[in-house]
Structure 1
């Protein structure tokens, strides 16, 4: 299980999220019918449209300066072994529904990690998820460099994963929440007040959650710790 938090796959999270939303629509642009599109989702809906994501995130920036981060990108990527296991349990369509449910619970853990009394679950966050079916060969992949694969070509095997855009501000647009804040206070109480985020604990919680939710028997060498 690989869970990572970045500023943005497009390299900029200090302005509008529109470029990132457009980038994450890349698979839908290859579909002939809109009925085949993978829709955006969160804990309330599975049919969110791209412009609703952009407007929601871009309007949730009260008291943030031009050089402040406005949103973050969370990548939830099960291993090929984990994906193969899920397909054996739930089938090709069922795996998508279950991964989305898993993502909602991961966002619960994201909220709890801030250790703020009024930030307790995904419902206290403004976030939108997008399931992607493929990964693509890029400039830095050795297969592209040696000519055995073309730039943009699908990578082999099970590559299903979820990308989540989460606002820097909470759902009320009042509280700043940054996973980049890893500074420790003078004591436990002071650290809570600062809103310290423990990235390692967050990643570990995702692995534990996956195993408990799906009954996955993880080998010792496959454990994060």
Structure 2
């Protein structure tokens, strides 16, 4: 499970309105009949039209300055393993989203607890993802594609008589490179913009910066995690507990659907990796045999090559000898967005 929170973009190329973002979220509905279109939903209602979403979000911005975000975007990205666990059921995913938004509300650090009924939000399921330029498969294929394009340009120069060369040899080189391209789907080379295979369902949520009364600001992007400050001579609570939100959202899925989460899938593991890789890998190598095997399998599915190691896992010091080797392959996978850690 990977959950992100992003503030509204407010530079010169973006509108102050939520309309651009809502239009973007309507992209999968293009060319579909009304009965086939995916609609927005909130805590209590389904089939909310996009026009209402724009009207409600744009109309809930009292006293916000032009340079302040009017809304935030929350994206919930279940893994394919998690989606398969719930049979990629949109009803279950909607149920989960509504529970997650309770956790979101409870994560605001306020004198008066914030409930989900105070939050103005609209969510939408999407079922497709496309390969981006930073995806590992696209980047690795691009090495071969670049060489092919270079050879094709050389062939055209040879045919025009601009340079000397053997066009037939170059064509053979192109055929060899085409055969070596590593990533294909149904025989087609993976390129940017191609749809990703398997279940890709994810959720976009647009949530207003202001509460439903349009009086109080609820910013999950606050630099204050959970603190107090003096306002009009009185100490008041402020901030958003992001760690609490991410952790609770993950546990919510596990509890609701009886999902057995492996160490490498967890938010705490991802956080440990970032802050102290040695502890991360020591924990990974110290897992019980079946859990460690499952962890390596998950990492392999994500595109991480796991080196073969014969290490006595009951000895942390011996296990730590493998950390540098592991960290290298993990960092490569992380940089290409092939694994969520």
Computed over aligned residues only, the root mean square deviation of the Cα atoms, in angstroms, reads 2.4
Contact 2:5 2:75 survives alignment (8 Å)? yes
Aligned pair count reads: 216
Does residue 6 of structure 2 align to residue 6 of structure 1? yes
> Structure 1: where are the runs of 5+ without partners?
none
Does residue 192 of structure 2 align to residue 198 of structure 1? no
In structure 1, the residue matched to 2:128 is 134
Partner Cα distance (1:10, 1:175) in 2? 21
Matches for 1:160-171 after TM superposition, within 5 Å? 160-171=201-212
- Larger-gyration structure (1/2): 2
Partner Cα distance (1:23, 1:184) in 2? 31
Matches for 1:173-212 after TM superposition, within 5 Å? 173-183=214-224, 189-190=228-229, 193-212=236-255
Contact 2:225 2:242 survives alignment (8 Å)? no
In structure 2, the residue matched to 1:157 is 198
Structure with more of its chain in helix, by fraction: 2
Partner Cα distance (1:163, 1:193) in 2? 32
In structure 2, the residue matched to 1:104 is 98
Contact 1:182 1:198 survives alignment (8 Å)? no
Contact 1:179 1:199 survives alignment (8 Å)? yes
Structure 1 residue matching 2:120: 3-state secondary structure: strand
Offset of residue 202 of structure 1: 0.9
The structure-2 alpha-carbon separation of the partners of 1:170 and 1:14, relative to structure 1 and needing over 3 Å to count, comes to farther
Q: More relative contact order in 1 or in 2 (CA 8 Å, sep 6+)?
A: 1
Partner Cα distance (1:81, 1:195) in 2? 37
> Structure 2: where are the runs of 5+ without partners?
146-188, 269-341
Structure 2 residue matching 1:140: 3-state secondary structure: coil
In structure 2, the residue matched to 1:80 is 80
Partner Cα distance (1:184, 1:47) in 2? 35
Offset of residue 53 of structure 1: 0.5
The structure-2 alpha-carbon separation of the partners of 1:9 and 1:129, relative to structure 1 and needing over 3 Å to count, comes to farther
Contact 2:129 2:196 survives alignment (8 Å)? yes
The structure-2 alpha-carbon separation of the partners of 1:171 and 1:193, relative to structure 1 and needing over 3 Å to count, comes to same
In structure 2, the residue matched to 1:25 is 26
Contact 2:111 2:237 survives alignment (8 Å)? no
Output one character per residue of 1:98-124: Cα deviation in whole Å (capped at 9) or x when no partner: 111111111111111113354532211
The structure-2 alpha-carbon separation of the partners of 1:118 and 1:223, relative to structure 1 and needing over 3 Å to count, comes to same
Output one character per residue of 1:154-202: Cα deviation in whole Å (capped at 9) or x when no partner: 11221101100000000110000111113257xx554993421121221
Contact 1:41 1:130 survives alignment (8 Å)? yes
Structure 2 residue matching 1:82: 3-state secondary structure: helix
Partner Cα distance (2:96, 2:193) in 1? 28
Contact 1:13 1:69 survives alignment (8 Å)? no
Partner Cα distance (1:112, 1:197) in 2? 9
Structure 1 residue matching 2:220: 3-state secondary structure: coil
Contact 2:10 2:16 survives alignment (8 Å)? no
